[in-house]
A and B are shown apart, each in its own frame.
Chain A
Amino acid sequence: MAEAQRPKRRPLEGVRVIDLTKIVAGPNATRILATMGAEVIRVEWHDQRALDLLRMVRPHAPGGDSESLNRSGLFNNINPGKYGATLNLSLPQGRDLLKRLVATAAVLCENYSPSQMESWGLGYDALRAINPGLIYLQITGMGKSGTYKSYLSVGPTAQGLSGLTHMSGLPEPMPPAGWGYSYLDHSTGYYGAMLAMAALIKRRRTGQGCYIDVSQTEVGILTSGTATLEAQLTGQPTARFGNRAQTGNWAPHGAYPCRGMDEWIAIAIQSDEQWRALIAAIGAPAWTADPRFATAEGRKANEDELDRVLAESTRGEERYDLMKRLQDRGIPGAIVQNAADRCERDQQLKARGYFVPLPHSEIGTWPIENFPAKFATMPVNVGGLPGRGAPTMGEDNDYVYGTLLGLPPEEIATLKEEWVI
């Protein structure tokens, strides 16, 4: 093959990842590794400890067997590009097979309950004895050390403890609004992926593997911005600001209603020039001449009233039309897009290939959210090595146990009969 035609090497070519993860935080980390070209093998089983509950979470693809573990659209979106194997780690034969897989792998990622792997005799120390270069990525709610090391957590737990829930919402006496989904499941996965890839770089230089203990709550603490610093400085507890700018005299700065049911536009005015442009964009209603709003300081000092009258002006507006008028004048204004907006009307997502149709062995071809960047050189593919959506339960058992571990078909059949795989 001519040099120019040779397929590009994948960023994580030759990297095998054993994926013992569940729900979103761990699977999101391995999703990214698969997108970058690692061979990710999801290892699951049918009992409570090893079954990914996400397989049962709505929405499900329409039709089919309602009891199937292979029809969750959320699971499909979180786990594309991976191979799927079943393995019963409660049995000694299952644990032996896992060790054989680990011996061939560069990375193991797990987010079981904090001591589950040790209870199976599969903790880092045991696996390092088999594979000294192993990168063992463990994701837990609180971290693997410290006084809360045995505490249990999911995204909402970590968001509550870290401070992210408190910081989201309207000021007291309103309660926190928090995050309307498990933000820290997503972002913890990001950190898991970047740390695993950093460890791979280091391993290439030194030959050394490592153990990485990622705390979901610490991801929340890291992303709490300047809040802990300001509290140390002032001695005052962190407050909530709604949608308002936390520092500076930026106002108006919020979400304002538009015509229709629950339709809103976010507007962020950052200068007098933008304020004057906003006045023009909304047709210079009389209230904009109020001297209280003539300066940035005045607008900030009278923000309650400013928000009220601006909302009255935007309430009758068609949201896309208003957004266009604002943007035409250089004003940061954007509608609050819901999922339908992003899927059906967002021309930018469409133009950049954000939704990638990928086949799935049971539910057919569905759009999967892509990695949010374009690459000039590297082949980066959300469908990963298998070029498809999420694996069905045990879909690739023959590949994993036959091709990778070299077990003969009759032995694989016996393992299936004995409920090992």
Chain B
Amino acid sequence: MSHAALLASALEGTTVLECGDARSEFAGLLLASLGASVIRLEGRHGSHSRHVGPFTTPEPNLEHSLCFSRYNLGKRSVTLEVDHPAARAAFERLAQNADIILDGGEAAAVARRAELYRTLRASHPRLIVCTVTPFGLDGPYCDLKMTNLTHLAFGGVMASCGYDPGPDGVYDTPPIAPGMWQAYHIACEYAVIAITAALNFRDLAEEGDFIDLSIHEAVSTCTEVAIPTWIYNQALVHRQTGRHAAEGRSRPWLRRTRDGRYVKAFMFWSGRERRVIAEMMTEAGIEHDLNSDAYRALVERSPSEAGAHFSAMIDRMCASMTAEEIFHRAQAKGLLWASVRYPEENLEDPHFQARGTFQPIAHPEIGRSMHYPVSVATDGRDRVTAFERGAPRLGEHTREVLSQAGFSPQAIADLTAAGAL
């Protein structure tokens, strides 16, 4: 078995019941990517993400949401109404055969279900429960209403992201929440870390765990130098355009290119970097004075002015080439630069094609496949991926899953009649 196949089947034989809303869906996806059998319990009206666009069809349709399909590849869908009293016995039976319950949502809703989960753990001690809620299940803020945007604000990410202030140091643009559901991504990554740790623990200790994950804490851990800067220096970092927030102002990283795009010219401003950039300018036919005695004298006299001059020369060089040209030329020189790409530009990039970064997933409703990023790793040759199918249709696996759990057709019909399905 290849190493990629080993990893893609690492959680083979592990069954996950995924309840709740979209907050924990990415965690279910990541578990599925490692070979777990993930059953999405989403109720008759479907997961919240089914109602979120973009849609593949002109009108919103809960079977055609790209948001849902993105976060639910490889899962099975069961329309069990977990909160309905008539569903309790069915849920308990599914849970008895499950290894993991994953539940994301507001604390009040999850806490109600958590009582049941604790009861289940008493009779099924190997069960692992992971709840993903805005602030965890306790604490003074646990009932606050939150979204991805407000998490990125309250957790500190936005305080570090945005644009330079004006010359007077006053910001006339707001802090920025980076695109997509990054608060939920971070929380779900931690949820899967906690779950894989618990699976290791279960191998040793023969018991599961109850994991109470806080999205707020997860986001808070992910702000790099901001917290240490306060703890050790009692200072704040200040957001800057296209580069790291810092106590003081740093030189730009984003440079406009000939094709109207940007290159991210990340630098430590080392002597080697300066030397190879001067070489790049020479090779590109850009007139420069960076090897002149006059420039060396400026460096001696005023490093700040010299740095500004050097930076202006980088701007000039970048303006003479396309972003992709600069990216490859700079990397050939060992510079840590990259073109600022649209995410979809990587679909056609030979590097990512060679690595199998994107996997085609059929979309019958539009008569073609779409290419999804499916994992972050290879084994040096093959992609680590376990997806044999795309996202499920609503309730596509209700009968299959309930039958496997021992429910007769009549019992399933009774559950439906009672409003549990």
Contact = CB atoms under 8 A, between A and B. Distances in A.
B343 A228 contact: yes
Given A218-B355, A332-B146, A374-B136, A166 B180 contact: no
A352 B346 contact: no
A198 interface: yes
A238 B232 contact: no
B229 A226 contact: no
Interface string A362-386: 0000110111111111101000000
A369 to B, nearest CB: 5
A223 B189 CA distance: 10
Nearest to A210: B3
Given A157-B266, A227-B179, A376-B210, A152 B336 contact: yes
Nearest to A32: B193
Given A157-B336, A197-B200, A373-B190, A224 B180 contact: yes
Nearest to A240: B179
Interface in A10-69: 10-13, 24, 32, 36, 57-62
A283 B220 CA distance: 32
B231 A223 contact: no
Contacts of A210: 3, 6-7, 379
Contacts of B375: 218, 222
Given A181-B224, A228-B371, A238-B342, A194 B193 contact: yes
A32 B200 CA distance: 14
A72 to B, nearest CB: 8
Nearest to B136: A352
A87 to B, nearest CB: 25
Interface in B3-25: 3, 6-7, 9-11
Interface string A156-180: 1111111111111110001111111
Given A24-B224, A212-B3, A372 B178 contact: no
A257 to B, nearest CB: 7
Contact of B53 (A186, A221, A247, A380): A247
Nearest to B204: A9
Interface stretch (B39-47, B150-158, B392-400): B150-158
B380 to A, nearest CB: 5
Interface stretch (B238-246, B294-302, B402-410): B238-246
Contacts of A375: 194, 198, 209-212
Residue of B240, B357, B377 with most chain A CB atoms under a 10 A cut-off: B377
Interface in A247-287: 247-248, 253-257, 261-262, 264-268, 270
A212 B227 CA distance: 31
B87 to A, nearest CB: 25
Given A237-B342, A334-B150, A222 B373 contact: yes
Contact of B153 (A76, A336, A366): A336
A5 interface: no
Contacts of A242: 174, 176
A161 B228 contact: no
A268 B147 contact: yes
A190 B160 CA distance: 20
B197 A180 contact: no
Contact of B154 (A36, A156, A185, A334): A334
A233 B66 contact: yes
A233 B158 CA distance: 30
A237 B260 CA distance: 14
Given A59-B232, A145-B354, A378-B197, A255 B175 contact: yes
Residue of B159, B165, B214, B358 with most partner-chain A CB within 10 A: B159
